[in-house]
Chains A and B, each alone.
Chain A
Amino acid sequence: GAGVSQSPRYKVAKRGQDVALRCDPISGHVSLFWYQQALGQGPEFLTYFQNEAQLDKSGLPSDRFFAERPEGSVSTLKIQRTQQEDSAVYLCASSLDAGVEGYTFGSGTRLTVV
């Protein structure tokens, strides 16, 4: 596609519910990142994929967060047993290579846990 596509755009979840957020990167992009952005703050790193390999997941805040990219293209970020503190915008970014020249971001998924 022309850009990074994320879905859904908005998600309201009841506390304790599981959610799955999808990222469709630019075709052929090797690197894929997930970020969490709280209101009024900069994005916080969650995890990084190079093709299908998850090379860095040091930013995932708890074992309730899980990300996968099984075929090296589409990625899913899953949050189990959502908590109110999980409310944030979740951004996905992709890059053709290691990203030294920058990343292309999607518009994000705004998750609200009530």
Chain B
Amino acid sequence: TQLLEQSPQFLSIQEGENLTVYCNSSSVFSSLQWYRQEPGEGPVLLVTVVTGGEVKKLKRLTFQFGDARKDSSLHITAAQPGDTGLYLCAAFRDNYGQNFVFGPGTRLSVLP
């Protein structure tokens, strides 16, 4: 059983469209991070959210942490081909040492 679930698993859209991807869990997290990974590279940190209900914006990307700190969403406005990649959410599995776990990811393809 995955600690973090992500949906959708795959998403293919046209340039200029908006999209939202989700990260869900039954566990409560002290913080949650979003990463983006391109083929052949390691994940790159996009944002860390800490406070329930928190909203953070990074250019065309908007991240929200659920009020109960169990879920998060990533919204991309006017997607561009450069946004293509694997979007991963990650969090500490509290009370299990420093085990930092990732979700399975959403693979986004933005077509020109």
Contact = CB atoms under 8 A, between A and B. Distances in A.
28 contacts: A33-B98, A33-B100, A35-B102, A40-B107, A41-B104, A42-B6, A42-B105, A45-B101, A48-B97, A48-B98, A48-B100, A50-B98, A55-B97, A56-B96, A56-B98, A58-B99, A59-B99, A98-B98, A100-B30, A100-B92, A101-B48, A102-B45, A102-B48, A103-B45, A105-B43, A106-B42, A107-B42, A108-B40
A64 B42 CA distance: 24
Nearest to B9: A40
Interface string A35-47: 1000011111100
B76 interface: no
Q: Could you say which interface size class chain B belongs to? A: 20 to 34
Interface of B: 6, 30-31, 33, 40-45, 48, 86, 88, 92, 96-105, 107
A93 interface: yes
Contacts of B92: 100
- Residue of A41, A42, A44, A102 most packed against chain B (CB within 10 A): A42
